[in-house]
Amino acid sequence: MNAVLAVKQYVAKMIEDSGPGMKVLLMDRETTGVVSMVYTQSEILQKEVYLFERIDSFNREPMKHLKAICFLRPTKENVEYLIQELRRPKYSIYFIYFSNVISKSDIKSLAEADEQEVVAEVQEFYGDYIAVNPHVFSLNLLGCCQGRNWDPAQLARTTQGLTALLLSLKKCPMIRYQLSSEPAKRLAECVKQVITKEYELFDFRRTEVPPLLLILDRSDDAITPLLNQWTYQAMVHELLGINNNRIDLSRVPGISKDLREVVLSAENDEFYANNMYLNFAEIGSNIKNLMEDFQKRKPKEQQKLESIADMKAFVENYPQFKKMSGTVSKHVTVVGELSRLVAERNLLEVSEVEQELACQNDHSSALQNVRRLLQNPKVTELDAARLVMLYALHYERHSSNSLPGLLTDLRNRGVSDKYRKLVSAVVEYGGKRVRGSDLFSPKDAVAITKQFLKGLKGVENVYTQHQPLLQETLDQLIKGKLKDSQFPYLGPNTLRDRPQDIIVFIIGGATYEEALAVYNLNRTNPGVRIVLGGTTIHNTKSFLEEVTAAGFRGRSTESSQAPPRPSSRR
């Protein structure tokens, strides 16, 4: 069930099967991302892979002394590139791996192009997704739906990605989906179709309890991606943006050249692996420890040349020191930038009100707080808009809803039209009318009691009181209490036992807050393994883009507004 390991094993096998000798890895844009998420360059160098090339690059020189390992998505373009490549082979021998099911006709045209008999292997290795963490994967697709319907190309890609995950983990699951979402149903059917068609591929050893695939829709919980985050991984993504483990720091004031872009990978950065799920305060103290550790290891200046022993100490510290210094400067920079942003954008205060909006039901106090923050000049445009969005989502049907007033406040504040329109767009995307589950006011007795008790106890941490809806859904699923009426099975069979291996996929993107929730569920429920996936991993900005791309552009709040601007849809 480890997504990272699954991809890693595929790549390792490819390299291993090609035998000894110098190798080049030939990839396309997407597979480059897939491989770079699980292997570092130095790791892969040790396996005699010395060059990494894109199949579509024209700047490749014939090097007949190299073996080529091609890891490609089975797209039309790639097949075409490969045919060209085989007609005039640049390398001595080709090992071809497709990341998904490839058609027989493509195999035929490739075979016919291989007049020089350079191909030694043609296989399907299903590493067709971005493995973010062992329990998190993404497809890096933004804007998967148009309105409430799939974009056909994205549906195909999502089906491929999801089935590839199932194949790489060797799971042939039962499928449940969110009834209120049409895209969820469509995707469930498509996955089922593939499983039926490729039945011999999905013929795995049966486990006692079959694995379960649960397909959800982002529109059921539009709150989570709108919140500011305080755990390390989620926070970095929210404030700086993580793209295939890379973080762009070029906008950080006074950044040094080599820190313009840093890599945060739990696979080879131990500090990150240990801290990615801790909250910001804890990170602060851990960074301090890291620094101290680092300084301890730093060779002593004064005594350096007093004796040879000191020099010896220095020399032996040197490699460790270099590694540490890289880690330290990276994390210090990242955390420093985070805290700068927190202060600059007044995020503590903003987040407190966000959490109140998301978790409590006190309308007047919430409204008052939002109004107050809208007056604060330190609050950014984005944060102001997101507060109003959260308010709009929560108190959509409230009797004394004063959304128009807040929108006017936004306008008076000079918040751009784009954001004001997004308020209604978000409501349209994830409003009450759309939601299948109840985000805000739990109905069943247990949940109400729980909330009541929680209110009595008071919250431990105001900034992290919000629990994503996914947490509740999965909790019910694990306990076997998830209602069939809301999340029906696809097909006649249902699961009698409690599920053990669960793959949950969110159409419209997951978030790192949900990744954390799943991580915690994994750790607290013995025998249960959950993998979370999404068409992408969202932060607020990308989520708003997703909403825009889906075509919910919102109604302009003022009738005097100029004619609608041209669509930003792609």
Partner 1 sequence: MACGCPPPFGDPAEVREGFLCPLCLKDLRAFQQLQAHYEEEHSGEDRAVRAQLRNLVQKAKRAKKKLLKQEDDRTDSGSQERYESFSYGGVDPYMWEPQEVGAMRSHLSDFKKHRAARIDHYVVEVNKLIIRLEKLTSFDRANTESAKIRAIEKSVVPWVNDQDVPFCPDCGSKFSIRNRRHHCRLCGSIMCKKCMELVSLPLASKLTSASKEALSSHTSPSSSPNSVHGSRRGSISSISSVSSVLDEKDDDRIRCCQHCKDTLLKREQQIDEREYTPEIVKLYEKLRLCMEKVDQKAPEYIKMAESLNAGETTYNLEHANDLRVEIQRVYEFIDALSKKILNLGLHEEPQPHPKTLQLQRMIRYSATLFVQEKLLGLMSLPTKDQYEELKKRRLHMAALEAHRRQEEKQKDSTSRSVAAVNGDASNLKKGTVRKSEGWLPTSSVSRQCEIADPLLQQIDNITSFIKQAKAANRLDEVRMLQENLRQLQDEYDQQQTLKAIELSKKQAEEEEMQREELQVLCEKEWEREHHKFMSQHSRTHSLDFREVKQHQHEVTKENQNLIAHGLDLDITQMKGNPSSETTAVQQLPAKDNFIFPVKPQNVPQHDKDQNRAACLNPFEDETDTPLSEEDPANPFAKDISPLISFSNAIVQSDKKEYNPFENEEDEQTNGASVSTSNPFEEDENPCQKSGGNSGNPFEEGSSTNPFEVEDGNEISEEEAIEEELLLQQIDNIKAYIFDAKHSGRMDEVEVLTENLKELKYTLAKQKEKSNC
Q: Which of residues 246-265 bind partner 1 (CB under 8 A)?
A: 246, 254, 256-259, 261, 263, 265
Cβ at position 227, least distance to partner 1 in Å: 23
Say whether residue 179 binds partner 1 (CB under 8 A): no
Residue 380 in the binding site for partner 1 (CB under 8 A):
no
Cα 38 to Cα 268: distance, rounded to the nearest angstrom: 9
Dihedral angle at the C-alpha atoms of 73, 76, 77, 78, nearest 10 degrees? 40
Q: Toward partner 1, which CB reaches closer, 93 or 410?
A: 93
CB-wise, 91 or 429, nearer to partner 1? 91
Of the pair 205, 443, the CB lying nearest partner 1 is at: 205
Q: Is 312 in the site for partner 1 (CB under 8 A)?
A: yes
Closest distance between partner 1 and the C-beta of residue 216, in Å? 19
Window 457-496: residues binding partner 1 (CB under 8 A): none
307 binds partner 1 (CB under 8 A): yes
List the one residue from 157, 529, 538, 553 that touches partner 1 (CB under 8 A): 529
Least separation in angstroms between CB 7 and partner 1 = 8
**510-511/537-538 β-pairing:** parallel
Residues numbered 154 to 173 that lie near partner 1 (CB under 8 A) are 167-170
What Cα–Cα distance (Å) separates residue 473 from each residue in 216, 420, 467, 469, 479?
A: 10, 31, 11, 6, 10
By CB under 8 A, how many residues form the interface with partner 1? 134
The CA distances from residue 122 to 32, 87, 125, in Å, are 19, 16, 10
Taking CB under 8 A as the binding criterion, the range among 46-54, 381-389, 468-476, 480-488 that sits at the site for partner 1 is 46-54
Least distance to partner 1, CB of residue 261, Å: 8
CB of 165 to partner 1, least distance (A): 9
Nearer to partner 1, 142 or 291 (CB): 291
| Burial grade of 493 (CB within 10 A; 0-12, 13-18, 19 or more) | exposed
CB of 107 to partner 1, least distance (A): 5
- Site track for partner 1 across 200-239, x = CB under 8 A: -xx-x-----------------------------------
For partner 1, give the closer residue by CB, 314 or 440: 314
Please identify which residue in 185, 297, 411, 413 interacts with partner 1, judged by CB under 8 A.
297
Contacts of 79 (CB under 8 A, 6+ apart): 102, 106, 109, 110
Q: In angstroms, what is the minimal distance from the CB of 180 to partner 1?
A: 29
Phi/psi at 497 (nearest 5 deg)? -85, 175
> What are phi and psi for residue 73, nearest 5 degrees?
-80, 145
Q: Which stretch binds partner 1 (CB under 8 A): 143-151, 325-333, 343-351, 424-432?
A: 325-333
Residue 528 touching partner 1 (CB under 8 A)? yes
What count of other Cβ atoms lies within 10 Å of the Cβ of residue 48? 14
129/391 with CB nearer partner 1: 129
Q: How far apart are CA 367 and CA 395, in angstroms?
A: 10
Q: Find the binder of partner 1 among 30, 124, 238, 546 (CB under 8 A).
A: 124
Note whether 229 and 338 are within 8 A (CB): no
Among 224, 228, 333, 511, binds partner 1 (CB under 8 A): 333
Judged by CB under 8 A, does residue 119 bind partner 1? yes
Edge to edge, the sheet with strand 242-243 lists 242-243, 246-248, 261-263
Looking at 42, 364, 400, 559, which residue binds partner 1 (CB under 8 A)?
42
48-67 residues near partner 1, rule: CB under 8 A: 48, 50-52, 54, 59-61, 63-66
Stated as kind and residue range, the H or E segment containing 426 is: helix 417-430
**300 is a contact residue toward partner 1 (CB under 8 A):** yes
Footprint of partner 1 on 83-112 (CB under 8 A): 92-93, 101-102, 104, 107-108, 110-112
Half-sphere exposure of 115 (CA within 13 A, CB side): 4
| Residues 540, 548: Cα–Cα separation, whole Å | 12
121 forms part of the interface with partner 1 (CB under 8 A) = yes
Q: Which residue has the tokens 């039209």?
A: 417
The nearer residue to partner 1, 305 or 453, going by C-beta atoms, is 305
Give the Cα separation of 180 and 173 in Å (integer).
21
491: left (phi over 0), alpha (psi -120 to 50) or beta: left
The answer to the question of residue 114 lying near partner 1 (CB under 8 A) is yes
Distance CA 386, CA 410 (A): 11
Dihedral of the CA atoms 459, 462, 463, 466 (nearest 10)?
40
Q: Which of 197, 298, 372, 450 binds partner 1 (CB under 8 A)?
A: 298
Q: In terms of C-beta density within 10 A (0-12 exposed, 13-18 middle, 19 or more buried), how is residue 404 classed?
A: exposed
Site string for partner 1, 335-364 (x = CB under 8 A): -x----------------------------
- Decide: is 556 part of the binding site for partner 1 (CB under 8 A): no
- The DSSP letter of residue 204 is P
Pick the stretch among 286-294, 365-373, 406-414, 484-492 that binds partner 1 (CB under 8 A). Answer: 286-294
Our finding on whether 140 is near partner 1 (CB under 8 A) is no
Q: Is 461 helix (H, G, I), strand (E, B) or coil?
A: coil
Give CA angle at 473 (470, 474), nearest 5°: 85
- Which 8-state DSSP code applies to residue 562? P
- According to the binding rule CB under 8 A, does residue 327 interact with partner 1? yes
The reply on whether position 322 binds partner 1 by CB under 8 A is yes
